[in-house]
């Protein structure tokens, strides 16, 4: 290992772990001790990352408040050092951290709220793609519909939440008192996407969520309707499928359609 490589290794370790060997290679300045000067780097490291987390998770920050958010942020920084050159992706695994680390794992609404904010952030700067319009659908003859397959817009993502985090999110966004967190009997099924430039979400019923998930994986419309028939009134399945599809197209959730 070169001297430079060894020195960088020691410098980084001193920031991350507090081990002070590198200080032997750093002189005091004319006005200040080396410990204090090196402390500027130590402080900047975690405070910069926590600041980035505040920006990415503005509502979780409001929900927890300064002190609790910062304690949580520093714990995340210690558990998940950044491995990506772009700070944009640093808090990507925060929902998993909150789900698996005490004391946060005792409050599942935190992980859900972080997951919802992450999904909205990801939708915000997701890849561009054309938006499917109703006119694009009009050209298909009725007998061709059974074989149509739909491609979701790249910004679209599904989220299943175990708590009422969506209601908490809505209250915090509206500057209102959030409801008490509760665990839901049935998961809250959300669809998150970007409409023009704005990230949005809405809740789906069980049936529509199933159709979206299966349609997104490439199942054609005719089969999707047969699947819908097992959920509710079989005679109305095709009409319900067409209704969901119409809603997705007008909401700018689809980017393309192809035929078998």
Q: Residues in the site for another protein, rule: CB under 8 A? A: 2-5, 7-9, 11-12, 15-16, 25-27, 29-32, 34, 36-38, 40-41, 44-45, 48-49, 52, 81-88, 90, 124-128, 154-155, 194, 197
With 0-12 / 13-18 / 19 or more C-beta atoms within 10 angstroms meaning exposed / middle / buried, residue 248 is: buried
Q: Which is nearer to another protein, 116 or 224 (CB)?
A: 116
Q: Residue 160 CB, nearest distance to another protein (Å)?
A: 24
Q: Which is nearer to another protein, 194 or 240 (CB)?
A: 194
- Decide: 123 and 195 in contact? Cβ < 8 Å: no
Q: Residue 257 CB, nearest distance to another protein (Å)?
A: 21
Q: Residue 41 CB, nearest distance to another protein (Å)?
A: 6
Q: Residue 14 CB, nearest distance to another protein (Å)?
A: 10
Q: Which is nearer to another protein, 89 or 107 (CB)?
A: 89
Residue 255: name the closest of 190, 205, 193 by CA. Answer: 193
- Give the residue carrying structure tokens 């002190």: 67
Q: Residue 109 CB, nearest distance to another protein (Å)?
A: 28
- Decide: 165 and 192 in contact? Cβ < 8 Å: no
Per the structure block, which two tokens stand in for 165? 């985090």
How far is it, in rounded angstroms, from Cα 82 to Cα 89? 9
How far is it, in rounded angstroms, from Cα 93 to Cα 112? 12
Q: Which is nearer to another protein, 10 or 207 (CB)?
A: 10
Q: Vertex 219, ends 260 and 133: CA angle to 5°?
A: 75
Q: Which is nearer to another protein, 27 or 142 (CB)?
A: 27
């Amino acid at each position: 290992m070169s001297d430079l490589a060894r020195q960088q290794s020691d410098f980084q370790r001193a920031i991350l772990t507090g081990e002070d060997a590198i200080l032997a290679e750093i002189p005091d300045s004319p006005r200040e001790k080396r410990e204090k000067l090196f402390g500027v780097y130590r402080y900047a490291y975690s405070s910069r990352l926590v600041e980035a987390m505040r920006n990415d998770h503005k509502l979780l920050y409001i929900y927890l408040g300064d002190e609790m958010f910062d304690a949580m942020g520093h714990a995340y920084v210690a558990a998940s050092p950044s491995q990506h050159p772009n700070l944009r992706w640093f808090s990507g695994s925060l929902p998993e951290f909150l789900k698996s680390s005490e004391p946060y794992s005792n409050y599942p609404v935190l992980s859900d709220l972080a997951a919802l904010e992450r999904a909205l952030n990801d939708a915000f700067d997701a890849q561009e793609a054309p938006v499917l319009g109703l006119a694009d659908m009009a050209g298909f003859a009725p007998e061709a519909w059974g074989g149509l397959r739909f491609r979701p817009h790249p910004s679209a993502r599904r989220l299943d939440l175990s708590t009422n985090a969506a209601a908490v999110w809505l209250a915090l966004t509206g500057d209102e008192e959030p409801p008490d967190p509760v665990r839901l009997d049935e998961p809250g099924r959300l669809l998150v996407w970007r409409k023009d430039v704005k990230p949005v979400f809405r809740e789906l019923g069980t049936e529509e969520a199933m159709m979206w998930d299966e349609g997104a994986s490439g199942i054609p419309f005719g089969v999707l309707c047969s699947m819908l028939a097992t959920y509710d009134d079989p005679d109305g399945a095709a009409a319900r499928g067409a209704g969901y599809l119409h809603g997705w197209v007008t909401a700018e959730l689809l980017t393309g359609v192809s035929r078998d």
